[in-house]
């Protein structure tokens, strides 16, 4: 299922499919090696819910949700019970 990169949960891995960003941002992402086909993992969310800390090509890259929204990915790993609980918790938090 295609989702935007900001919808991942901590611990989830995904493959980048498309980057809908232009100019400065696009160039920066490409230079960082964030290209279609690369695997990324959401490591953590900053205390106030934004930005996000991703891991790719063995380094950490943080970006705001507004930037991550421009990147379409597909989840790689399926999460079990723990993931589902986290997801519910997450929904509750984003509502706030």
Give the residues lining the site for other proteins (CB under 8 A): 19, 21, 23-33, 35-38, 43-51, 53, 57-64, 67
Q: Are 53 and 46 in contact (CB under 8 A)?
A: yes
β-pairing verdict for 13-19 and 39-45 = antiparallel
Provide the minimum distance between the beta carbon of 77 and other proteins in the complex, in angstroms, as a whole number.
Answer: 14
CB of 32 to other proteins, least distance (A): 6
CB of 21 to other proteins, least distance (A): 8
């Amino acid at each position: 299922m295609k989702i935007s990169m900001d919808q991942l949960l901590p611990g989830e891995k995904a493959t980048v499919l498309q980057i809908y960003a232009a100019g400065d941002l696009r160039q920066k992402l490409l230079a960082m090696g964030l290209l279609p086909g690369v695997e990324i993992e959401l490591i953590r969310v900053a205390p106030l819910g934004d930005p996000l800390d991703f891991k790719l090509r063995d380094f950490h890259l943080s970006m705001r949700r507004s930037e991550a929204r421009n990147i379409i990915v597909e989840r790689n790993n399926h999460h079990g019970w723990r993931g589902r609980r986290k997801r519910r918790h997450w929904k509750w938090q984003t509502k706030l």
